[in-house]
């Protein structure tokens, strides 16, 4: 199992980078920078590339609706260049709240768009003259629909690699199936190892049946909050604000993908209550309604032996890369937590 770290996009970025630089020497495998309605992830990944030497870097994730396919490919090629071939392109749909509410872009056809974007990116990286006639993207734009000549172009630069690994953040069955078919990696959210197969196993198997062997095994990259010790039980509450936000506030009723995942895990009534409270503006109550049992199942919080058991459970469920977010009182404690996970990880 590979161990990585998810960098907090809301605060303390420079301090987080300093930890990545130090943890790189201890064997950290990958660092992932998220992008929501925060600072963009590209500038921070470029900064991280300049500060590190061996750790892999990834976007976690670039929303597909706010960049053209060619720009996604150009950005990935640029980050792969400045990092000497250490970048992985993480893409995903995000959710309607972010895409429509913050960017003012219609959230539509996520599965079709994802497939077309992946195919276009790989054309760009191969330095082909990009010609694509999809349902949602046409390159070049036909001459009769614009002021150009309808001439296909190719990337000027020669990318470090013509096949940059692609990670897709996917939750719905059809999108997970597509990911298992076409991507190098899958990045689900709120992964509960004992329950994951019951909601995603069929989709993963269906996609794997159509997968090109040249892609290699699917890298299953999962995130979990982390605290190790005999006195960290209160840290369960530290992760509840994020769960409350995602389950309750990231989308309207019927359009919240994270709420759907919790429901499929068997927490439907709880998720409904959290959403009801959150959308009514009662955020504190919504956060308090998040059950310890759910947090514990999604996290690595507890004594050293318990965390080792949870890591083994994630590995048994097919997780190949574990991204951790330390719930620490200070930087030294955060470093210690990650170093312990590096020691505890399954072979």
Which of 124, 64, 131 is CA-nearest to residue 98?
64
Same domain, 250 and 140: no
Q: How far is CA 95 from the centre of its chain?
A: 13
Same domain, 104 and 193: yes
Same domain, 27 and 98: yes
What is the CATH classification number for the domain harbouring 21? 3.20.20.30
Q: How many folded domains does the chain comprise?
A: 2
Same domain, 250 and 151: no
Same domain, 255 and 143: no
Q: Are 108 and 270 in contact (CB under 8 A)?
A: no
Which of 50, 87, 55, 54 is CA-nearest to residue 72?
87
pLDDT digits (tens, 9 = 90+) for 204-238: 999 999 999 999 999 999 999 999 999 999 999 99
Q: Are 109 and 136 in contact (CB under 8 A)?
A: yes
What's the half-sphere exposure (Cβ side, CA atoms, 13 Å) at 56?
Answer: 18
**148-155: average pLDDT:** 85
Residue 11, pLDDT above cutoff 80: no
Q: Which residues fall within 8 angstroms of residue 30, CB to CB, at 6 or more apart?
A: 2, 4, 5, 55, 56, 57, 58, 88, 321, 323
Residue 8, pLDDT above cutoff 80: no
Same domain, 122 and 149: yes
**pLDDT reported for residue 148:** 65
Same domain, 35 and 131: yes
Indicate the pairing of strand 185-186 with strand 166-169. Answer: parallel
Q: Is 320 helix (H, G, I), strand (E, B) or coil?
A: coil
**261-269: average pLDDT:** 95
Indicate the pairing of strand 138-139 with strand 132-133. Answer: antiparallel
Q: Which residues fall within 8 angstroms of residue 182, CB to CB, at 6 or more apart?
A: 115, 118, 166, 168, 207, 211, 215
**323-347: average pLDDT:** 95
Residues in the chain: 347
Q: How far apart are CA 198 and CA 176, in angstroms?
A: 13
pLDDT category of residue 255 using cuts at 50, 70 and 90: confident
**196-206: average pLDDT:** 97
**pLDDT reported for residue 147:** 67
DSSP H or E stretch at residue 186: strand 185-186
Same domain, 209 and 318: yes
**pLDDT reported for residue 143:** 74
Q: How far apart are CA 221 and CA 322, in angstroms?
A: 6
Residue 299, pLDDT above cutoff 90: yes
Same domain, 114 and 124: yes
Which of 336, 342, 304 is CA-nearest to residue 323?
342
Same domain, 157 and 280: no
pLDDT category of residue 141 using cuts at 50, 70 and 90: confident
Instruction: Write out the two tokens for 49.
Output: 């590339």
**CA Rg, the chain, in Å?**
20
Which residue is listed with tokens 């992008």? 35
Q: At what angle are helices 13-24 and 41-51 packed, to 10 degrees?
A: 40
pTM: 0.94
Beta strands (DSSP E) in 229-275 are none
Same domain, 137 and 54: yes
pLDDT digits (tens, 9 = 90+) for 49-102: 999 999 999 999 999 999 999 999 999 999 999 999 999 999 999 988 899 999
Environment class of 73 (CB within 10 Å of its CB; exposed 0-12, middle 13-18, buried 19+):
buried
Which residues share a beta bridge with 139?
Answer: 132
Q: How far apart are CA 291 and CA 194, in angstroms?
A: 17
Residue 115, pLDDT above cutoff 70: yes
Share of residues in the chain with pLDDT > 70 (%): 98
- DSSP 8-state code for residue 318: T
Q: How far apart are CA 297 and CA 314, in angstroms?
A: 10
Same domain, 201 and 311: yes
Share of residues in the chain with pLDDT > 90 (%): 89
13 vs 59, higher pLDDT: 59
Residue 150, pLDDT above cutoff 80: no
pLDDT category of residue 13 using cuts at 50, 70 and 90: confident
**264-281: average pLDDT:** 96
| Domain limits for position 271 | 230-302
Q: Is 346 helix (H, G, I), strand (E, B) or coil?
A: coil
Task: Give the mean pLDDT of the chain.
Answer: 95
Residue 145, pLDDT above cutoff 80: no
């Amino acid at each position: 199992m590979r161990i990585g770290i998810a960098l907090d996009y809301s605060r303390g970025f420079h301090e987080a980078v300093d930890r990545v630089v130090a943890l790189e020497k201890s064997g950290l495998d990958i660092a992932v920078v998220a992008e929501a309605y925060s600072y963009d992830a590209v500038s921070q990944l470029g900064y991280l590339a300049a500060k590190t030497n061996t750790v892999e870097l990834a976007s976690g994730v670039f929303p597909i609706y706010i960049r053209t396919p060619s720009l996604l490919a150009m950005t990935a090629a640029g980050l792969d260049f400045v990092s000497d071939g250490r970048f992985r392109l993480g893409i995903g749909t995000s959710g309607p709240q972010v895409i429509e509410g913050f960017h003012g872009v219609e959230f539509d056809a996520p599965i079709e768009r994802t497939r077309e974007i992946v195919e276009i990116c790989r054309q760009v990286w191969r330095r082909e003259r990009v010609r694509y006639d999809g349902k949602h993207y046409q390159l070049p734009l036909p001459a009769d629909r614009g002021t150009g000549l309808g001439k296909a172009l190719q990337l000027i630069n020669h990318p470090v690699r013509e096949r940059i690994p692609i990670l897709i953040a996917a939750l719905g069955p059809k999108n997970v199936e597509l990911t298992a078919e076409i991507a190098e990696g899958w990045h689900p959210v709120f992964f509960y190892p004992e329950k994951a197969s019951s909601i995603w196993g069929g989709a993963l198997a269906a996609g794997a049946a159509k997968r090109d062997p040249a892609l290699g095994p699917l890298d299953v990259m999962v995130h979990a909050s982390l605290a190790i010790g005999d006195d960290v039980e209160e840290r369960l509450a530290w992760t509840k604000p994020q769960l409350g936000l995602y389950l309750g506030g990231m989308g309207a009723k019927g359009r919240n993908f994270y709420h759907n995942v919790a429901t499929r895990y068997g927490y439907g009534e709880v998720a409904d209550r959290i959403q009801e409270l959150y959308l009514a503006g009662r955020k504190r109550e919504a956060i308090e309604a998040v059950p310890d049992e759910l947090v514990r199942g999604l996290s690595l919080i507890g004594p050293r032996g318990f965390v080792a058991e949870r890591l083994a459970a994630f590995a048994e469920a097919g997780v190949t890369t574990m991204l951790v977010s330390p719930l620490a009182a200070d930087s030294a404690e955060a470093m210690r937590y990650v170093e312990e996970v590096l020691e505890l990880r399954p072979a």
